[in-house]
Structure 1
Amino acid sequence: MSLLTSSADVRPEASVPSALTGSHHDLLLPIASPGIRSPGEDEREPFLNEPNRTQPGFVAKIIEHVTDRWLQTRQFITSDEGIGVLKCGLAYLLGSLATFIPVVAALLGPQEGKHIVATITVYFHPARSKGSMYKALICAALAFIYAAFVSLTSMYVTIYFHQRRMIELGHALVLIIFVGLGFGFIAWTKQKMSDPLVNVACSLASLALIVVLTKEGAIQRGSVSLAKVSQVLKMLLMGIGATMTVSFLVFPVSAQKKLRSNLAVATRSMAIIQSTITEGFLRRTQHDLQGFDYTGASTRLKKAHGELHKLLYETKLEQYVAGWERAYCHEEKLVHWAHGIVHTTGALHSSALLALETLKRPKFADHPLDGPNANASTATSNDRQSTTSSGDDPILQPVDIGMLEMTALDNGQPVAAQLGRVSDGLAPESLLVTELFDSFVDRLGPSMRSFTLTLINISAEIPLGLSLDNRVAMSHGSAAILTQAIEEYREAQREAFGLLYREKLDNSTGTFEQEAYFKEVAAICAHFSHSLLKFGEQLGELLTILADFEVTTAGYHRKKSWSWIKFWRRDPPRSRYMNHPNDGLDPRPSLTEVAPGYHTELLGTSSFERPSRLQPFRDRICRHIRGASSFFRKDETIFAFKVGVGAALFALPSFLSFTRPIYLYWKGEWGLVSYMLVCSMTIGASNTTGYARFLGTCIGALCSILVWSIAGSNAFGLAVLGFVMAICTFYISLLKGQGPLGRFIMLTYNLSVLYSFSLSQSSADEDPDERSGSNPDITQITLHRVAAVLSGCIWGIIVTRGVWPISARKKLRTTLKLVWLRLGRIWETDPLARRITNPGVAALYMTPEDRLKMQSLLSELETLRVAARYEIELNAPFPDTAYGKIIQHTQSIVDDLHALDLQLLGMPPSEPQLSLLRYTSRERQNLSGQISHLLGAIASSITHACPPNQVDLSKAKHSRDRLLATIFLYRSGDETSSSALDETYSLLYAYILVIDQIIGKMAEILADVGRLSTGRGRGERVVNYE
């Protein structure tokens, strides 16, 4: 039985049998309409008035409410999120036992600070996978090694100067080098790595250093004390040990299973998305793209796709520890495949929107070749061709624009009016284009629907959610079915377009305008069809990867090697993605790999010049100087420098004899810890974390007083109430996404309650200022901690905003400029020109590396946009909506480029196509230059905060229409075209349509940029970019 239906009599609304299940009705769920009655309803029932029903009593309502709450609670407890919260509470309970159990507390020594064990369990919580715990262990070990090195080195420096009676100079060096540079390096690492676990390790290193450098007193006395260093090591081992015990023994989580689960969710979500997009394309409506199924699948896809990189690294650690590092290569290929097909899904969505927009506003209309002068223009073109061509060369030359101007003058209309006139969506034109599109859908729609259902069924059968320990053999028939479906759809597509073109030739009584509309509809259908075919081909790549993985992992329990430990037997380096099918398609270097000296290398040196022997040495010195200056100009370096200076100033009172008692009384060390936690790169991020930590400190203080008033110094009561506190705060941190708020609540709680318990178990001589008689004064203790934490938060905001402030709004504009300049450079590359010079290599606008870099920049834009919301400016509020639209339009441009890349990949170059590309090379070069210039002008406008008054889109539209006219002139003298899907013309037709859509997006971006610029003044000005 054929997989695809090729009958031309089936309407788009008809039901199409599925290739795998026989019917697609099993995949569709009926949606009840609120305004339609079911057949079983009584027609005499009032339509507006609800029938009288017996209202439940008060007790029944309470029982129903309690039952619902219990069902919700049970569902939460049994969910992955609920289990994670319970594991965090259990780990905190174990960590707090280091304070409550006297034997364990005695192992940590007589020093205070035993509550740090519980604090470590808050930061290194067990609600993570085994791979993440391995990474947490590595980060914690590095943090301790760094803290121990800085602490011991600072002690020996002070001893050296103390022996020479220059202790003040030693303290100054400790402040400048070990506090300033040491904490600055921590801040630089925190921003450079931009990883949550690295941030936690940086916080842990800061805590250990602050306790040793400012509170312990050995450095101030000029002596060596290993007691605090050893205590920090013991507390680190206890905290990490408690967390890892809970993580590995209580419902352990595998990163590989989570990775496979996310890949399965992403694959099925993309199948739903492509099915919805295809149905919306066939029905000529955008309602399907705004429905619940599409938005829900998009949300799931975005969430699953955003976690792939993190889960891939955690999977790598798990598999390397388990001795199965060879499987990691296949996991990496799967993630790389997921990135590629996500971009393809975006391209499919872009091509569908292009088709729907084109149906509303046809673009191939009213060119200078219609009317009575069409034949004359063609003859003139043929005469010019015959005079300029030599011999039997079939290559045509570019159209003479002067001839077009003469033709336009004969028609009595200016060139701009004829070349730049675009249909305004008039009813006759839209009706004609819609009829043509429906005739395409009548032939191609059934095959497209059947192909889409085949993709959905195969996506549902792929065992992506399984791991190494839970393997099920993949059905080998899926690959054959998919290959057959792709070939049959490609053949059905070719037959449908050929049939339509033959019908058009049989009824060749239409005007030239109808001919243009026919080509336009054929172009948008072919453009969408290529994207859909590429989606199916990439699904086939997934089946190939899984088949290789199944062969490689057969009997993996007997093949564990741990060969990564054998550093003396390293294998030769392999490519990153193990010869991925998309690798090697484009020899052009990616945007991130172009050498800084590229332009100077192109110039070279004259062969008559003898370079100096010292020239290589001078070049090396200059290169190092440029690299150093570039390093010190980076935001990360500036941020690290000012954080280090702020930390040295905050720690200065602990080194002065007359201010040290005040520093110790008000617990200044915790203020410095808070300062290091609050400092963030941008002002908006610092404001966000500062507010969260301020609120968390206040809530934690109130909870501490309440808990101590209930349980007092009873260890059992404090342990139970602490477990409840941990459950609540981890619910806030993990499920509500308020990590800083939840962590600071517990930090303040630990500083107050656990410290008070330790103080109650010690002698009455320790800390008499924080006692009320023989018992700890919880109010006084809480006040000191709150004052210290708030002082650190305030100081962090002052340093972040007052010393070389880094504005998130400015970085947002700078990143937007970088994105648009990259897009402008992409347009300058012109892969269609490289297709002429090197037809054997598929030239693309964006390589896979470029797409990943561009997507990373777009994700960074969203992060900066969120941070910019919290920057308080007196002149104007942050225009969040306008920036959101700009980012959305920029993403649409990237998707349009990728859709064009898919068509370039799906259409191998032919001699007639290359001839047309040579014929239109001048027009395409002008158009690419106009697009690149526009993107540069947009980047300059938003960078300098000025309205783009000098930007003129009409030149780009004029260049586009000149290219379109040139193609029509070429085709009027070409008698070889025999199909509506002729690849000679469909590529350039799609190229023009995509450019028209990009010009429209740029017009909207320019309007938004103009509003941003004029909005800073007194009034709003309307800037027209059309």
Structure 2
Amino acid sequence: MGACSQGQPLAIRRSARTAPSHPLLLSAQDLLRRTPRAISPDKSRRPLLPCPVSKNSTDHLRQVREESRRSWRNLSASWRNLSASLSAVLFFPGTHPQIEFQRPRLQSVRSAPNRADVDISQWSRVWPPSPATVAVTKCCIAYLIGSLFTFIPELARILSTGTQEDAHGRVRPKPAYSAHMVATIVVYFHPAKSAGNMLLADRYASILMLFAVMMCILSMYTVQLFDHFSPSLGDKWDWISETGDWVVNFLYIGGSMGVLAWAKIWVGNPSFNSGCSMAAVTIFSVVIKEGNMPKLVEILLIVMFGVIISNIICFVVFPTTATTRLQNSISRSLTSFSTLLDLLTSTFLFEQHILKSTQTSLRQAITDHAKAFKTLKADLAEAKHERVLDPRVRGRKLKLYDAAIGSLARLAQHISGMRSSTKLQESLIRAVREGKLNLDEEKMDSTSADDAELAQSAKLLMRFREMAGDEMNDLNACCDEALEAVKVLTRASNLNVDLPATRQRLTTSLATFSHTSSSAIKRLYAGPRREQGVYQNERDDSEDEDLPAIGEIVDGPNETVFLIYFFLFTFEEFAREMLFLLDTVIEIVHTETPSVLDHIRSVLPFGQRRQQPRRTFLYQQLPWLTPENLVPIDPSKLQAPVFPRAKTDTTSPLRQVSLYARLRQRWWAFGEWLRQPEIRYSIKIWIGGAILAAPAYTEWGRYWFLEFRGEWALIAFFSVNNPTLGQTNAMSFYRCAGTFIGALVGVIVYHLFPQNAILLPMAGFLFSIPCFYIVTQIPDHAQTGRFTLLAYNLTCLYAYNSRERNYSVWRVAIYRSGTVIIGALWAAVVSRYWWPYTARRELRMGISDLCVDLSYLYSRLVDANNQDIAESNGHTEETPLVAGSKIAHPHLTASVQQLLAMELHLQSQLTTLRDLLVLTKNEPRLKGPFPTSFYSEVLLSLERMLDRLHSMRCVTTRSECVRTEFDAHVSKERIEMTGSVILYLYTISAGFKLRTPLPPYLPPAELNRQRLVAAIRELDVVKRRSARGGNKHLLYFAYALAMQEVIAELGYLGEMMQDTFGVIGQTYTPV
């Protein structure tokens, strides 16, 4: 047996996970379990009366009373500890991640529980509340407090910069008519965030409000400048004053909207988007109404109070930390890795429980893995902003967490490669379930001729299981042990886990597995050579004569051997990456945490950095392994530039060309910059917003614009406009529907409780519950809940604020709905007819670019495959394919680093394309529905192709891989196959971009691959099937055979495109 079965088990026990080191850290479950009962069950059921009065009975009663008093004192002490524990959960959860938001479970007690236990059990079912309940509660409380600035005059006066005289002639601040905007700011800036996300949102809000203040002040000075030169000094309409108004409209209304729109795409953060909405509200409220400095100060006070309310609620009521969420996400990812690893190895080894089970468990595990892994980078980005508050990510630990996330990303790539290497096993399992194949060796020989190939492959797999199945299971157990250790230590670093011993067992098991699997593969590859009469005088140390004939091909090896080969290589890569992850976690646990003062000193440029001892950290040894430093590379960017046309390989420096050429080149660069989608989007918002605000700066339209609150239309236009047409259509629908619902509810509530300063805020609190639930728990429809609550806020609360100005609630609702509809319709018109950026077209173009990038990646793999590396001698059949004596972190060369970056870029491209595919349903077409199923299948095929190329990269970048001696003999066939594959990808790319019929005959990539395989089989080293010469020919043969699945995916894509786009000379129906 391997290292894991012989070594000691993981030093983690369930008691160690739940027993903290301090009484205050006891979970509610432990406290309830340890709470003594007032009277034991047998005594509580014992009748006390009637009983004879005697000395013994008196002593017994006295003993019972003393026991009761002692039990109640212990019970009171336990409840005090329980309250202290709950306080730690509520107010300091970041320090104790192992008890945050965990529902305590009471152990089942066979004896009948007493009343106190029943009450505690019922209470534990609802406390602590779930994260969804906490998020909605925090938002509703913040909204209630924000709405009180509308209903309490004393609070409204705080926001006002104007004064009024009371009946006694005393000058007092008058209530602000814009006090309802405090609740509006709370809706935009809700407190259901982690501590790090709230700090980041505060930073964004400060920067954006500074931008809004700058725009407002510049607009004021611009108006004053033009009024100064006006003949009427701005009192009447003249051409100078009107010119100043148009400058303000074009630069400060439209220009600010364009800058904010570009910034939203550039930053790409939801908190930043909310801050942009607040900045737009501030600019429109001040600049449109030509407000002065007091008006600007009033708006800033409103924004400040809204932000302060959200911060207080976020950090006081059930505070959550992104670091804890990051640790939870890592834990879920590791659990999904363990589940997928067990399922994949069981599938590969053809185990019985896999033969009887369905594929539902594997699909569910893949889905859970995708959900858990999706939030890792977002949680890490938020956790970086908690360094001052949370010591778990302070100092070097943040870099180590970066390295850990990068390691998890590579583990996910290896899992994908292993999934793509079990296609043969899945087909065999399907054949077994359908009754076409029997795994009984006696009945396997009687298989029909049609299924003979499947039976032969099954024999090879079963033979490999006999040779190396135990070692694979042992390595799988060691990987599970390492995953469990990392998962536990990411949640609580004070547990007694022996990570060095775990790493040593994994290292030993990996070395054993590498040695055994290599020997098994070579024995399966060599086969019964003496029975075939090939090279009978060749001696070898293997025991080939003991292996039965299993349908070997005389002129070459069975391709199933190499399908096994790829899975083993990827599995070894997974285990090696686990070693790196273990080392990273060891450094996280043992790294010294600096104090808050030391951290502040290290951040400040003038602070004194604390002298750290000289030590080489893991993330410093391999700097490219972190997500920050491993930047995704677009493979097409590695091609030679196309300007100037005279020299396509290089771009001449500006100083080496003439003035006219420099002007042409700069003009060309400017045109390329304008063609970028984000630049076009910001220009559309800039000019479209200026056109919508234009009536406010005309003599005939200003009165109507201010009367009907035209700034609401500007806010709606800015909020619903998105880069793609599908997003704009969806947001316009959500905005209009939410506005109708919110305005209608606001009218009903206001009529039910007219001018009632007590019931109106309570009704708003109740109505905000479903709205905030949608905002926080249903991200895809979050805008619906936000727009609905904003409409209610600007109907009910604004009507209450304007009651002294005879503004009826119906009037406010109608004005609000009308202006929002105008803004949404204008946004739809601008998005549809001005530089339309449709998700359908971008999906096709993105697939086309992805196919070209795949061809670049494949060409780089071919280049890596052709590297001439010095050979090593002394290989025998027992020599591992990968040397196991030095199980450490493999040195990643520059080419491997480049390939990793390309794969990351292609994976991000696939994610973007899936998002675009979702948006296509919001873009209706007159000629019929968009073929979503076709494009979904195309993306799945491209993903499978990328997984296969990843597995090939694990093989081709080995130092033992292809040598020039093979290229010299099969170079012609290799070049033909490579050229056919690249031509195939180019044809598919052009087909998606042009949507024209495809040729009836596509590149013969599979035929060229078969020619390459036949040429390799003609080599003497392959005919001998000798393992004494090393494994170089095995690796090269595996590379050639692995291209079969890539070419099969290309053929599948070509057939689908011919069915969809048509074939030249046949019927053509574009989609």
Native 8 Å contact 1:639 1:681 kept in 2: yes
Q: Distance in 2 between matches of 1:19 and 1:533?
A: 23
How many angstroms apart in 1 are the aligned matches of 2:356 and 2:215?
A: 61
Q: Does the aligned pair in 1 maintain the 2:499–2:586 contact within 8 Å?
A: no
Post-superposition CA distance 1:347-368 (Å, at most 9, x none): 110111256569999xxxxxxx
Whether the aligned pair in 2 keeps the contact of 1:3 and 1:484 (CA below 8 Å) is yes
Is 1:528 equivalent to 2:567 in the alignment?
yes
- Secondary structure of the structure 1 residue equivalent to 2:553: helix
CA-to-aligned-CA distance 1:298-332 (integer Å, 9 cap, x gap): 22221222112221221111115668243211111
CA distance in 1, matches of 2:632, 2:776: 41
> For the residues of structure 2 that align with 1:275 and 1:1009, how far apart are their CA atoms?
37
Residue 857 of structure 2 is aligned with which of 819, 826, 830?
826
With over 3 angstroms needed to count, the CA separation of the structure-2 counterparts of 1:249 and 1:315, relative to structure 1, is same
Of 866-875 and 917-926, the range deviating more from structure 2: 917-926
Q: How does 1:105-120 map to 2 (within 5 A)?
A: 105-109=156-160, 110-120=175-185
Q: Which residue of 1 aligns with 2:603?
A: 564
1:583 shift after superposition: 5.5
Aligned residue for 2:931? 879
CA distance in 2, matches of 1:566, 1:715: 52
Question: 2:1050 maps to what in 1?
Answer: 1002
Q: For residues 360 and 936 of structure 1, what CA distance do their matches in structure 2 show?
A: 35
Counterpart residue number, 1:348: 418
Equivalent residue, structure 1, for 2:581: 542
Alignment of 1:674-685 (within 5 A): 674-685=716-727
TM-score norm. by structure 1 comes to 0.79
* Secondary structure in 2 matching 1:847: helix
Match of 2:340 among 259, 273, 284: 273
Alpha-carbon distance in structure 2 between the residues aligned to 1:623 and 1:98: 58
In the TM superposition, what whole-angstrom CA distance separates every residue of 1:286-309 from its partner, at most 9, and x where no partner exists? 878963432332222212221122
Is the 2:186–2:307 contact (alpha carbons within 8 Å) kept by the matching residues of 1? yes
Hey, what's the Cα distance between the residues in 1 that align with 2:773 and 2:953? 45
CA distance change for structure 1 residues 824 and 209 in 2, over 3 Å: closer, same or farther? same
Contact 2:747/2:809 (<8 A) preserved: yes
Structural mapping, 1:16-27, within 5 Å:
20=9
Residue 237 in structure 1 maps to residue 304 in structure 2? yes
Q: How does 1:895-906 map to 2 (within 5 A)?
A: 895-905=947-957
Find out whether 1:127 has 2:184 as its counterpart.
no
Aligned letter for 1:246?
I
Q: CA deviation at 1:928?
A: 1.4
TM-fit CA distance, 1:664: 2.1
Contact 1:824–1:936 (8 Å) recurs in 2: yes
Q: Post-superposition shift, 1:1013? A: 2.3
Separation (CA, whole Å) in 2 of partners of 1:228 and 1:641: 29
Q: Deviations over 1:957-1016 (max 9, x none)?
A: 12101110111011467647227x952233223223321111111122223333442499
Residues in 1 aligned to 2:572 and 2:728: alpha-carbon distance in whole angstroms: 47
Equivalent runs, 1:896-935 vs 2, <5 Å? 896-905=948-957, 907-909=958-960, 913-935=963-985
Match of 2:545 in 1: none
SS at match of 2:499: coil
Deviations 1:132-183 (A, max 9, x none): 0111011111111111111111111111111111100101111222222221
Contact 1:729 1:743 in 2 (8 A): yes
CA drift at 1:457: 2.6
1:992 aligns with 2:1023: no
Alignment correspondent of 2:671: 629
CA distance in 1, matches of 2:795, 2:487: 51
Q: Does 1:691 align with 2:765?
A: no
Whether contact under 8 Å (1:683, 1:801) holds in the other structure is yes
Deviates more, 1:853-862 or 1:794-803: 794-803
Amino acid aligned to 1:862? R
How much does 1:605 deviate?
A: 12
Q: Give the AA of the match of 2:241.
A: I
* TM superposition shift of 1:923: 2.1
Amino acid at match of 2:578: L
Residues 76-105 of structure 1: per-residue CA shift (max 9 Å, x gap) = 971112211111111111221222221221
Tell me the CA shift for residue 916 of structure 1.
2.1
2:407 partner letter: W
Aligned residue for 1:448?
472
Deviations 1:399-446 (A, max 9, x none): xxxxxxxxxxxxxxxxxxxxxxxxx99322322232223222222223
Q: Describe the superposition over 1:559-598 as per-residue Cα deviations: whole angstroms up to 9, x where unpaired.
A: 54541222688999x99963438769x9999446946765
Aligned pair in 2 of structure 1 residues 264, 567: CA closer, same or farther (>3 Å)?
farther
Matched, 1:98 2:146: no
Out of 519-528 and 546-555, give the one that drifted further.
546-555
- Where does residue 891 of structure 1 map in the other structure? 943
The answer for the alignment partner of 2:387 in structure 1 is 319
Matched, 1:81 2:113: no
Aligned to 1:811: 842
Q: 1:540 to 1:177 in 2, by over 3 A?
A: same
Over aligned residues, Cα RMSD in angstroms? 3.9
The answer to whether the 8 A contact 2:524-2:561 is kept is no
* Alignment-derived partner of residue 207 in structure 2: 142
After TM superposition, give the deviation of residue 488 of structure 1 in Å: 1.5
Tell me the alpha carbon deviations over residues 237-258 of structure 1, each in whole angstroms, 9 at most, x when there is no partner.
Answer: 1111111111111121111111
Distance 1:137-1:447 versus aligned 2 partners, 3 A rule: same
Aligned length: 876
Aligned residue in 1 for 2:115: none
Partner residue of 1:551?
590
Structure 2: which amino acid aligns with 1:326? R
What CA distance in whole angstroms lies between the structure 2 residues aligned with 1:100 and 1:471? 53
- In the TM superposition, residue 18 of structure 1 has moved relative to its aligned partner by 10
Deviations 1:806-845 (A, max 9, x none): 1110111111111111111122234455642466958449
Residue 670 (1) aligns with residue 709 (2): no
Aligned to 1:750: 793
Aligned to 2:20: none
Which residue matches 2:268?
Answer: 194
For residues 705-738 of structure 1, give each alpha carbon's deviation from its aligned partner in whole angstroms, at most 9, with x where no partner exists: 2222333222221222222122111111222331
How do 1:193-342 residues align onto structure 2 when only pairs under 5 Å count? 193-214=267-288, 216-218=289-291, 225-283=292-350, 291-319=359-387, 324-342=394-412
Give structure 2 stretches of 5+ with no counterpart.
Answer: 12-117, 161-174, 231-239, 432-447, 534-548, 872-892
Of the three residues 977, 996, 1016, the one matched with 1:967 is: 1016
Q: Distance in 1 between matches of 2:319 and 2:757?
A: 29
Amino acid at match of 1:700: G
Separation of aligned partners in 1, 2:987 and 2:145: 60
1:284, CA displacement in angstroms? Answer: 8.2
Q: In 1, are the aligned partners of 2:226 and 2:241 still within 8 Å (CA)?
A: yes
Question: Hey, what does 2:820 align to over in structure 1?
Answer: 789
- SS of the equivalent of 2:995 reads coil
Displacement after TM superposition at 1:527 (Å): 1.0
Q: 1:490 maps to which residue?
A: 514
Q: Secondary structure at the match of 1:919?
A: helix
- What is the aligned partner in structure 2 of residue 956 from structure 1? 1005
Cα distance change on mapping 1:731 and 1:532 into 2, 3 Å: same
Which stretch shows the higher mean deviation, 512-521 or 310-319? 512-521
Paired with 1:73 and 1:868, the residues of 2 have a C-alpha distance of: 46
Give the distance between the partners of 2:512 and 2:493, measured in 1 at CA.
37
Q: Relative CO higher for 1 or 2, CA cutoff 8 Å, sep ≥ 6? A: 1
2:997 corresponds in structure 1 to: 947
Q: Which residue of 2 aligns with 1:850?
A: 902
Matched-pair contact (CA < 8 Å) for 2:601–2:609: no
**TM-score, with structure 2 as normaliser:** 0.75
- Whether the aligned pair in 2 keeps the contact of 1:191 and 1:636 (CA below 8 Å) is yes
* C-alpha distance in structure 2 between counterparts of 1:1010 and 1:465, whole Å: 53
CA contact (8 A) 1:653 1:659 kept: yes
- Aligned partners of 2:4 and 2:477 also within 8 Å: no
Partner of 2:919: 867
Q: Is the 8 A contact 1:117 1:236 kept in 2?
A: yes
Assess, with a 3 A threshold, how the Cα gap between structure 1 residues 135 and 973 changes in structure 2: closer, same or farther.
closer
Distance between the aligned counterparts of 1:898 and 1:611, measured in 2?
38
